[in-house]
């Protein structure tokens, strides 16, 4: 649905996006993660034609976004929730977009209702909170019911209820065959929304894959009634160990190996599982200078 290859952009000699490429399939939610200044927004702007890439190209459903005569029907885009005229009303803003895209004006009221902004429809956007502006931006993206959604930090500023609603909305979109690309630095939210994570650091993609595979570590967490005996058995079995939170021992070996060692030593276990690296750990490991 969305393909990007070799996207590169430099400002005043400094490369902010370097050879970024990926392909998104229908029915998936992909998170685009990276710290501030990593190149997320620039990449999204290049995809949507607001910024010209120095090299590379992106296509949406086979054509560059701007080559579609009416691209709003291919991709709904939210890049900056603050990019709205504060003197206009939410409904007025969406109705103008509806006219431009060629969808009935009543669609503006429908999406305002879906995003919980019906009561504020006639209020000036300048009086909206950050969260309301975010929801207005998402409503703008949903206006034409497009197959692809490209959303830059869509949950920034939302309250917990709003975050849950947006997460449900995006998962629902993907479950109906739609494609979602969302950038975020709210890692815990991506954790519960995305099927796949693209991590960008220093302008380059440093990790790309399903969330579970990226956060899987090579360590196991193990707990027994007699922890001293467990530690001794593991060390004698040649498994390096470290203390871990919640009374566990972190064993530098796969769960199968730990299971074999403890079984052979006759130690009954209270718990044994693969250690999952938190997304925060992964994120900072990948983007703090080193590359995967």
List residues binding other proteins (CB under 8 A). 26, 48-51, 61-62, 65-66, 68-74, 77, 79-80, 82-88, 92-93, 96-97, 99-102, 140, 144-147, 172-173, 176-179
Report, in Å, the least distance between residue 178 CB and other proteins.
Answer: 4
Report, in Å, the least distance between residue 248 CB and other proteins.
Answer: 42
Considering the complex, state which of residue 71 and residue 201 has its C-beta at the smaller distance from other proteins: 71
Considering the complex, state which of residue 100 and residue 212 has its C-beta at the smaller distance from other proteins: 100
Report, in Å, the least distance between residue 89 CB and other proteins.
Answer: 9
Considering the complex, state which of residue 62 and residue 247 has its C-beta at the smaller distance from other proteins: 62
Report, in Å, the least distance between residue 147 CB and other proteins.
Answer: 4
Residue 33: other Cβ atoms inside 10 A? 28
Report, in Å, the least distance between residue 106 CB and other proteins.
Answer: 16
Report, in Å, the least distance between residue 124 CB and other proteins.
Answer: 8
Considering the complex, state which of residue 145 and residue 216 has its C-beta at the smaller distance from other proteins: 145
Q: Are 16 and 203 in contact (CB under 8 A)?
A: yes
Considering the complex, state which of residue 145 and residue 259 has its C-beta at the smaller distance from other proteins: 145
Considering the complex, state which of residue 102 and residue 247 has its C-beta at the smaller distance from other proteins: 102
Backbone angles phi, psi at 238, to 5 degrees: 80, 20
**Burial state string for 87-108 with b = 16 or more CB within 10 A and e = fewer than 16:** eebbbbbbbebbeebebeeebb
Report, in Å, the least distance between residue 16 CB and other proteins.
Answer: 13
Angle among Cα 278, 279, 283 to the nearest 5 degrees reads 125
The CA distance from 138 to 98, in Å, is 14
Question: Scanning the structure block, which residue is given the tokens 């900072």?
Answer: 284
The CA distance from 176 to 157, in Å, is 27
Question: Residue 7: which of 29, 27, 23 has the closest Cα?
Answer: 23
The CA distance from 149 to 136, in Å, is 14
Considering the complex, state which of residue 82 and residue 264 has its C-beta at the smaller distance from other proteins: 82
């Amino acid at each position: 649905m969305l393909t990007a290859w070799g996207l590169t952009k430099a400002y005043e000699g400094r490369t902010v996006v370097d050879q970024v490429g990926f392909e998104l399939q229908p029915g998936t939610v992909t998170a685009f993660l990276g710290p501030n200044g990593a190149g997320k927004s620039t990449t999204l702007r290049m995809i949507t034609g607001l910024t010209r890439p120095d090299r590379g190209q992106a296509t949406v459903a086979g054509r560059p976004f701007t080559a579609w005569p009416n691209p709003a029907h291919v991709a709904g885009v939210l890049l900056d929730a603050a990019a709205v005229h504060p003197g206009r009303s939410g409904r007025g803003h969406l109705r103008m977009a509806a006219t431009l895209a060629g969808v009935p004006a009543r669609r503006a009221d429908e999406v305002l209702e879906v995003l919980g902004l019906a009561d504020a429809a006639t209020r000036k956007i300048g009086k909206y909170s950050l969260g309301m502006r975010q929801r207005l931006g998402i409503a703008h993206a949903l206006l034409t019911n497009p197959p692809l959604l490209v959303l830059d930090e869509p949950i920034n500023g939302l309250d917990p209820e709003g975050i849950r609603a947006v997460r449900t909305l995006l998962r629902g979109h993907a479950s109906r065959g739609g494609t979602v690309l969302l950038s975020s630095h709210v890692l815990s939210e991506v954790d519960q929304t995305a099927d796949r994570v693209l991590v960008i650091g220093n302008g380059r993609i440093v990790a790309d894959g399903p969330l579970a595979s990226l956060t899987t570590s090579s360590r196991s967490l193990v707990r027994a009634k007699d922890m001293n005996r467990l530690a001794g058995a593991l060390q004698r079995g040649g498994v390096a160990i470290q203390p871990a939170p919640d009374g566990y021992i972190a064993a530098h070996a796969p769960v199968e190996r730990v299971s074999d060692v403890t079984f052979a030593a006759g130690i009954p276990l209270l718990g044994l599982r693969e250690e999952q690296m938190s997304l925060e750990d992964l994120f900072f490991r990948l983007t703090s200078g080193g590359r995967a």
